[in-house]
Chains A and B, each alone.
Chain A
Amino acid sequence: MDGVTLQIERGRLVSIMGPSGSGKSTLLHLLGGLDRPTSGEVIINGQPLSRLSERELTVVRRRAMGFVFQAFNLVPVLTVEENVALPLVIDGRRDSSAARRVDELISRVGLQHCRGQLPSELSGGEQQRTAIARALVAGPPVLLADEPTGNLDTANGSMILDLLRSAQRDLGHTIVLVTHDPRVAATGDEVIEFRDGQIAGWLDLTVGGRRRRPVDRIVSWLARG
């Protein structure tokens, strides 16, 4: 990362595009407090992360961040229900409202029929939906998704993107989505292009209030040279 200044407004879905090694995943890790910048500052909801201790940062990740990974990263020995509930368990929340919240998210992602199954018994799409439910269960204001459709076919990928979009639109989450695929990036409200650790460009897909053919716009924009 080299001289990156970026501001993401609440409730927006921002796509970050770039080739391999461009620094987009590093940016995601910095935003999520998984890593610390050597210089500069990451501020989430007005809170500079650099002033937080390791313990405080952990709590921020627990309550203010949700993560969706390309490789799903579910705990293989836990069922769907247990995986979804994991952030609440880590936070020590075991009351009835927590249990209701888990049920709500499982329903939202359409996995009621397999809540008792292990990840090994699920398809890739079902696993990623479980991961999204897990990321949302604690109600974090920010959701960070690293190539969430990278291991999925087109149909499942579309389903995942719909879920993310509805989480932003209906629940008001701020979503940062890392991808190399223009079709996936087109889900967002704006696209930031990364190249060699720097922001190479920014495209607002909501300008004009219309979102017709955002993929074509992205492709031609990327081709601008």
Chain B
Amino acid sequence: MALGRLSRISTKGVAERRGRSALTVTGIALGVAIFFGVSVSNATVDRAFTALLGSPGGVADVVVRPLASGSRIAGSAPTLPAGLVPATAKLAGVHSAEGLLETQVVAGRVGLTVDGWDMAKFQGTLSAGRLPRKGEDGIALDARESVVFHAQVGAVLDLRATGGAALAPVAVRVTGILKSGSPIPGAATAVAPIGLAELLRGDAGHPVVSEIAVELDSGVDIPNWIARHTGELGPGVALVGQSVLVNNVRGDSRIEEDGFSGVAAISLFVGGMLIELTLSTSVLERTRRYAVLRALGASRAQVLGLVLGEAMVLGVIGCVVGLGVGLGIGVGLVGVTSSLIGVHLAGIAIPGSAVALGVAVGLVMTLVGSLVPAWRAARAPVVAALREDVTRHQRSLRGAALGVGLLVVGCVLLPLSGGDAAVRTLASAAVLVGSVLVVPLLLGPVAFVVGAVTRRLSPGVGRVGVMHLVKERNRSAFTAALIMVVVALGVAMATGIGTIRQAQDRQIRDQLGADLRLFAAGFPPTLINQIKAIPGVAEATPLTFGNASPYLTRHPTLVIGLDIVDPATYFADAGFAWDVGSDGAAAAALGRGGRILLPDSTAADLGVHEGDQILVNTAAGPRPFTVAGLFTTIIRDPALVVSDADGSRILGPGHLPTEVDVFDRPGAQLTQVLGAAVALLRRTRTPYTTQLGAKDRAENYGYIGHVTRVYGAILGVALLIGGLGLANTLAMSVIERRREIGVMRALGTHRRGIGALVLVEAATLTGVAYVLGLPLGVLLGAFVSRQLGTSFGFTPHQAIPWATFPTLLAVGVLVVLGAAAVPAHRAASLDPVLAIRLE
């Protein structure tokens, strides 16, 4: 009961120092906001993929589909004979097998993907209307598309197939609106009777299906079933677990989620540091008050409770603010994730557990940040505290020794971590915490050196400012540590982005060198030769693609793409970003046949190296292929690479290349080459599309731009926090030294000189933080690079971001000026008479 009334001191104390309370709330809100935002983003992505598995076509356990992939030309996707559907249904363990026919249409200028189903067996949830009946020219439209087309139940749309021969549009009535939508690009946005889909495709009378959705009997093990029945449905047919397909796409978003989660963890750390700093300052200011309470008979526990109580009040406020801001951050992150992985994410998921966890994180962060200041307040010797002599709590050498130990542990763990993210995270945390603990030990000597420069800002009083900083180690050290962490964060992020860009540049340079890319449903050999003969063309190399499928016999759950190249022409001007191997060796190896090139990440997952053999499913059964090289792929999905001869063995015969990469001669006019290629394709009545290589490369750079902007925003917030921490420290310094300032004024120092004193202190403190933060950032950058290499699947070559150092320095100057402005003005405005007084 006593504490309940004493808590009034806590709640009133919050309003007593509004500025400092606001700083503490900011630190809490930052951590909660980013944590909650990331949780909301992750939950939204989870919900979208869970809905996918429950959506039309998602209820299947296995999908049967062609091995060969279509080109970018709409409607060019290979099909399977409709007779394969009953054949599939007869396989052991199959509960049901339904064929669907996918067709790409346009209504006006807007594209639509229509899945044709046997409507009697279709499972989907409608929000309005009904499913179209068999034989009816009707569709059920996805809710999202109904908005795009402004079409409700009863509306009529003129649908025209894209690609292939020109077909007359078909007037189709919207009979119903589907409730759930798939986030996967290219997934169905409408369903129709299969007969209508055939009509739209121009396949009426030639029953085909795009894929077969298979539901297995309960209790059937899906991977085993796939392994047993692969090949039974004929060559060129793939059996793929539905969940594997979904998780493949899900895996892309996990990279972003991992990155955001890492940023959330760092935000919690930085926010926690700010909380400790501001609460320490508050406790410092109230040292005598707590001593009086102890003199009046308050126990240590009661004083501890007072400080924690005030902290918790701020914690609750910070949580509320953080949740609100976090929702906005979550919306932003969902948008970024959606554009990064090319997946539509509708709506925002706000699970109650995320709210509860966000609040818990905020309160725990507050508690952790306030424990040390509260403990100090409770344990301060009463007599000394009454005289305010105990405020200079010096962090013991034990803390610095612990810090050194943690740094050593972290630096040892990093090279040993390999691909283990948990170990790497532990090492990062050890380095961060260790470096913070070591700052008090280094502050004095580093400040002495840095101060030799900064005190020249004000030759008269500059030395006083530097010496005060060196002596007031406790608060200065923690503030320097906070800014140091932020600087290190900036350097580490810049390193990570530089590493990605370097890998990306390498791949673009080595692999995406084509000047022009041509896409069609199929390029016959004669057409390829005609393209090669176009004036200005140095080389034209064909590519064929297989759908993401389980090509590797012993890894039925590994779904990966297949790229088929002509080794005689591909490596003349194109290649790969090699980690093991070279273009020449790969050309020779693929030319011999029975060789395969693997992405780095796939080889690491499989535990294989160059020269190892792996079994690949072919039309004639599993065949051994020798690994002839390992390459980095960061801007393309991982895919196996084989020669055209081996590709036919895997996909089956009769699959034409769907892409031709064209390399022009030096001095040739690309526009003329493009014009000639387009004319040729039109002449041969080949539906096509083109892509300029420069545009292709620019689009890939757009990805890294997204990542840079997100991390840059987070870094900006962290820098703001660092600046606020610095301002807090300087403000406290001015309060504590007001008598000293009054004496200096009495001795003849100008107001400007007093302001300069504060500025020198700020500049020295920030300088120390930079001197310590830059090498720490380079070290942390090694962690970031390795983690990015593991996530994206490439061998990182850490690039020290020298170019960002001047920018960071300029930002540091702004932070110093911004943080010192108000405290310097207040110090300069102090009345010497009032300042010299005892109270």
Contact = CB atoms under 8 A, between A and B. Distances in A.
Does A associate with B in a complex?
Answer: yes
B297 interface: yes
B839 interface: yes
B759 to A, nearest CB: 31
Nearest to A150: B838
Interface stretch (A53-61, A107-115, A158-166, A195-203): A53-61
B302 interface: yes
A78 B9 contact: yes
Given A35-B383, A58-B298, A94 B839 contact: no
B296 A67 contact: yes
A82 B8 contact: yes
Interface string A49-86: 00000110011011101010101010111100010001
B205 to A, nearest CB: 88
B228 interface: no
Interface in A188-207: none
Interface in B280-302: 288-289, 292-300, 302
Interface residues of A, number: 31
A86 B1 contact: no
A29 interface: yes
B407 interface: no
Given A86-B293, A87-B296, 16 more contacts: A34-B383, A34-B386, A54-B300, A58-B294, A58-B298, A58-B300, A61-B294, A61-B296, A63-B297, A75-B9, A76-B16, A76-B289, A77-B12, A89-B5, A89-B6, A94-B5
Contacts of A214: none
Nearest to B15: A77
A32 to B, nearest CB: 7
Contact size range, B: 20 to 34
Nearest to B11: A77
A138 B2 CA distance: 14
A46 interface: no
Contacts of A86: 293, 296
A87 B6 CA distance: 10
A134 B386 CA distance: 17
A92 interface: yes
Interface of B: 1-2, 5-6, 8-9, 12-13, 15-16, 288-289, 292-300, 302, 382-383, 386, 839
Q: In the A-B complex, list the 3 residue pairs whose CB atoms are closest, starting with the nearest.
A: A62-B297, A77-B12, A92-B2
A56 to B, nearest CB: 11
A69 B294 CA distance: 14
A91 interface: yes
B292 A55 contact: no
Contact of A90 (B293, B300, B839): B293
Given A29-B383, A34-B382, A34-B383, A89 B2 contact: yes
B13 A90 contact: no
Given A34-B383, A89-B2, A134 B13 contact: no
Nearest to B289: A75
Contacts of B289: 73, 75-76
B839 A62 contact: no
Nearest to A86: B296
A218 B12 CA distance: 46
Contacts of A63: 297
A203 B13 CA distance: 46
| A29, A54, A89, A94: most-surrounded residue (chain B CB, <10 A) | A89
